[in-house]
């Protein structure tokens, strides 16, 4: 539960409003999948990754810190819907070392959260090349590895 508010109205009404946490990334662990919300809070442990939920692999192999989950979620939020729906696997070697894969297997090296709008624009232009790898860490000088 993310938040709960209770209010009363006289003479006899009581209203309870519950806002649930929504998982946005799945972190595979031995024997289970941890689901985290936009604030990096562990929401649930499940047996399978829910459909449409990107996996997040962390360098330590353990539970990611809030900083790492938040950086990954910020990256996802920054992507336009037309690109976001194709994201399958995220990797975080730390909050300043992010990358992800598209459903077609193409890799995107993102880096940190700086200059995000410029990175998004560079990626939007580059994906038209249908490459194997896109590197937008320096959006002024992006790199592409063709298929």
- Please report the beta strands in the chain, taking only residues with DSSP state E, as ranges in sequence order: 3-9, 13-19, 25-29, 32-36, 42-46, 55-58, 87-92, 98-102, 107-111, 133-135, 143-145
Cα separation of 49 and 85, whole Å? Answer: 15
CB neighbourhood size of 134 (10 A): 23
Token output for 135: 């590197």
32 or 95, higher pLDDT: 32
Cα separation of 147 and 32, whole Å? Answer: 34
What pTM was estimated for this model as a whole?
A: 0.78
What average pLDDT does this structure show over 38-63?
85
Cα separation of 107 and 1, whole Å? Answer: 35
Among residues of the chain, what percentage have pLDDT more than 70? 98
What average pLDDT does this structure show over 78-83?
92
Cα separation of 77 and 63, whole Å? Answer: 21
What average pLDDT does this structure show over 11-19?
94
Task: Indicate the pairing of strand 133-135 with strand 107-111.
Answer: parallel
126 or 69, higher pLDDT: 126
């Amino acid at each position: 539960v993310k938040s709960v508010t209770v209010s009363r109205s006289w003479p006899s009404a009581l209203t309870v409003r519950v806002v649930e946490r929504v998982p946005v990334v799945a972190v595979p662990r031995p024997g289970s999948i941890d689901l985290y919300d936009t604030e990096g809070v562990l929401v649930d442990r499940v047996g399978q990754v829910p459909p449409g939920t990107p996996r997040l692999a962390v360098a330590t192999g353990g539970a990611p810190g809030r900083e790492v989950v938040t950086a990954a979620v910020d990256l996802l939020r920054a992507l336009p819907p037309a690109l976001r729906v194709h994201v399958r696997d995220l990797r975080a070697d730390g909050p300043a070392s992010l990358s992800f894969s598209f459903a077609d297997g193409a890799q995107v090296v993102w880096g940190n959260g700086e200059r995000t709008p410029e990175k998004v624009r560079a990626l939007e232009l580059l994906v038209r090349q249908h490459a194997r790898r896109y590197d937008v860490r320096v959006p002024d000088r992006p790199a592409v590895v063709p298929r």
